[in-house]
Amino acid sequence: MKRLLILGAGTAGTMIANKLVKRLDDTWKITIVDGDEQHRYQPGYLFLPFGELRPEQVVRPRRGLLPREVDFLCAAVDRVDAPASEVTLTDGRRLGYDYLVIATGVSPRPDQTPGMLGPAWRESIFDFYSLDGAQALAIGLQDFDGGRFVVHITDMPIKCPVAPLEFTFLADAYFRHRGIRDRVEMVYVTPLSSAFTKPIAAAHLGSMLDDRRVTVEPDFLVEHIDAEPQRLVSYDEREIPFDLLVTVPLNMGADFVGRSGLGDELNLVRVDKHTLLSKDYQNIFAVGDASDIPASKAGSVAHFAVEIFVDNFIDHVNGLPMYGSFDGHANCFVESGDGKGLLIDFNYDIEPLTGKYPLPGVGPFSLLKETRANHLGKLAFRWMYWNLLLPGRPIPLPAHMSMAGKHPEKEGVS
């Protein structure tokens, strides 16, 4: 019996289990381990603070999302002994494997920034990258009646790098609809030199912030947060005061990755960016946010990467070369408020461009343009996530980025 062990039953891990159970014969045993019995639809966290989704709409039991043929263990991982091909759980159990897939993602770590956790946490300092954080922020927003409202990113990489921008756009609309926008000074604080990592998209998104009277503070690397007086303090001693702070804490991979010597300083597993195979061990892969590939940490990246990974895995375990090459493909709907959104589509080498997606000239989605259709696409994705993406059903979108329908000649801001 050959043993495939998957650590993490999030987006990538669940998709892999559902796809490989159909591709591997009965000489294989597939086991998936996660420390939590509940699967959370993390893109939904964005809408919870504004009352546009309810918590029960973003949570489902993991067991119901996995095939019966897959063993699910609700347990925490202590470490991986890669030379011995063995995983030790925190309860002392040991799991041997022939092949290991690490898909434990990344998590917000407010404990890594001095002053972030403390008396002001969930009082005047909030996050929305966790379910309880998004729920607490809903109350914080209701109680906020004006003042300096700061949205802050601690450092990159983070899950869904456009989410802080989306939150800012939605907050602007929320304050306008409450009739208090003129009493709110909005500031967007980022460690980047502009609003986004890709220059063309950054120009579009930056102009959207300007249109909404949001001040951008770039190149800001926070050193600590003072709860009294309420202010962010950077390593170069700049200070940004706030009345209400919505922060994205440092995102880090699972601690067991660091303890096992498999990761970098952020506990991200070192892999080949095209095959997702460990640079250190030939029977370990890392898929989704858990890897150190230079792509967005987003559900779409996990989806496209898994499509490449599954075929590669079958070849690899059969002693064949892996010809599939993941190109870093990502596409993200960006909510912009007032029932509109835009869409970006890019990969390792190609920036987001204008055009139509997925059908050239037809769409129905517009790239780098605010439309109602893009907003509806964002909302529809939740149904696709539960019913198509996680079960591993075919989705008629190419895993590799296509230039069809894009306008490379229009790289400036229109």
Q: For residue range 145-180, what is the model confidence (pLDDT) as tens digits?
A: 999 999 999 999 999 999 999 999 999 999 999 999
In angstroms, the CA 145 to CA 167 distance is 18
Please give the share of the chain, as a percent, with pLDDT higher than 90: 90
Q: For residue range 6-18, what is the model confidence (pLDDT) as tens digits?
A: 999 999 999 999 9
pLDDT of residue 411: 42
Question: 8 or 404, which is more confident?
Answer: 8
Mean local confidence (pLDDT), 241-254: 98
Mean local confidence (pLDDT), 97-119: 97
Mean local confidence (pLDDT), 30-51: 97
Topology of the domain comprising 110-250: FAD/NAD(P)-binding domain (3.50.50)
Mean local confidence (pLDDT), 80-94: 98
pLDDT of residue 410: 45
Q: Is 107 helix (H, G, I), strand (E, B) or coil?
A: strand
**Long-range contacts (CB closer than 8 Å, 24 or more residues apart) made by 16-20:** 16/101, 16/103, 16/287, 16/306, 16/309, 16/310, 17/66, 17/67, 17/70, 18/65, 18/66, 18/67, 18/390, 18/391, 18/392, 19/306, 19/310, 19/392, 20/310, 20/313
> Which of 233-242, 247-256, 372-381, 390-399 shows the lowest per-residue confidence on average (mean pLDDT)?
390-399
Examine the pLDDT at 330 and tell me if it is beyond 60: yes
Mean local confidence (pLDDT), 372-400: 93
In angstroms, the CA 366 to CA 344 distance is 9
In this prediction the pTM is: 0.95
In angstroms, the CA 56 to CA 377 distance is 21
pLDDT of residue 249: 98
Give the DSSP per-residue string, 196-215.
SSSHHHHHHHHHHHHHTTEE
Name which CATH class applies to 2-105+254-317.
Answer: alpha beta
Domain 2-105+254-317 matches domain 110-250 at the CATH topology level: yes
Mean local confidence (pLDDT), 192-218: 87
Cβ density class 328-351: b for 16+ within 10 Å, e for less: bbbbbbbbbbeebbbbbbbbeebb
Domain boundaries, the chain: 2-105+254-317, 110-250, 330-410
pLDDT of residue 412: 43
In angstroms, the CA 42 to CA 226 distance is 29
Of 225, 222, 221, 223, the C-alpha closest to 119 is 225
Residues facing 107 on adjacent strands = 252
In angstroms, the CA 406 to CA 337 distance is 25
Contact 296, 160 (CB under 8 A): yes
Examine the pLDDT at 301 and tell me if it is beyond 90: yes
Examine the pLDDT at 36 and tell me if it is beyond 60: yes
Residues facing 399 on adjacent strands = none
- Categorize the per-residue pLDDT at 413 as very low, low, confident or very high, splitting at 50, 70 and 90: very low
Of 27, 57, 26, the C-alpha closest to 44 is 57
Examine the pLDDT at 414 and tell me if it is beyond 50: no
In angstroms, the CA 199 to CA 353 distance is 10
Contact 59, 43 (CB under 8 A): no
Contact 154, 222 (CB under 8 A): yes
How many other CB atoms are there within 10 angstroms of residue 383's CB atom? 10
Q: For residue range 249-298, what is the model confidence (pLDDT) as tens digits?
A: 999 999 999 999 999 999 999 999 999 999 999 999 999 999 999 999 99
pLDDT of residue 409: 54
Q: What are phi and psi of 4, to 5 degrees?
A: -105, 120
Q: Is 140 helix (H, G, I), strand (E, B) or coil?
A: helix
Indicate the average pLDDT of the chain. 94
